[in-house]
Amino acid sequence: MKCMFGCNEYGKNACCPPNIPQVDKCQHFFREYTEGVVFHFEKKLKNPEQRHKWARDINNRLLRLEREVFLAGNQKAFMLFMDSCTNCKTCAEERIACRNKRSARPAPEAMAVDVFSTVRGLKYPIEVLRDYSQTMNRYAFLLVK
């Protein structure tokens, strides 16, 4: 099992490292944007496995919003999902083999965003959870030029 610094998605998701640009390329990517919107989602689940369906539903709605922002004249609208891309039940594992290239998006963490520091700086709540009985605070980012 491939695992990089505790992340089980490493090498198993087409939108996660090592399938995304290196940190310096991510920095260049972010410099192309002038504005952003932070979306905060809060959820408490009885069954931890429910988080995948919940995240997939939220991410699909975020994609529709990204499309509306794009159609409103923002040709560089780009969403960073609140969780790993879960468009497919089984990921192709490599970006080149992705079955949903148009709707696949990385999580902010995959693009070298320090989500904890970013949202804390904006006064949003976020804490390391000890277990799934605690309320999750998840964040997505819409980038706009």
Confirm whether 138 is domain-assigned.
Answer: yes
Confirm whether 49 is domain-assigned.
Answer: yes
3-state secondary structure of 140: strand
Contact (CB, 8 A) for 108 and 16: no
Confirm whether 116 is domain-assigned.
Answer: yes
Q: Which two tokens stand for residue 79?
A: 């969403």
Confirm whether 118 is domain-assigned.
Answer: yes
Confirm whether 101 is domain-assigned.
Answer: yes
Is the whole model's pTM more than 0.85, yes or no? Answer: yes
Confirm whether 89 is domain-assigned.
Answer: yes
Those residues whose C-beta lies under 8 Å from the C-beta of residue 91, and which sit 6 or more positions away, are 12, 13, 14, 85, 98
Domain range for 32 is 23-144
End-to-end CA distance of the chain: 39
pLDDT tens per residue across span 61-115: 999 999 999 999 999 999 999 988 888 778 887 778 888 888 889 999 989 999 9
**Residue closest to 139 by CA, chosen among 7, 41, 36:** 41
Domain count, the chain: 1
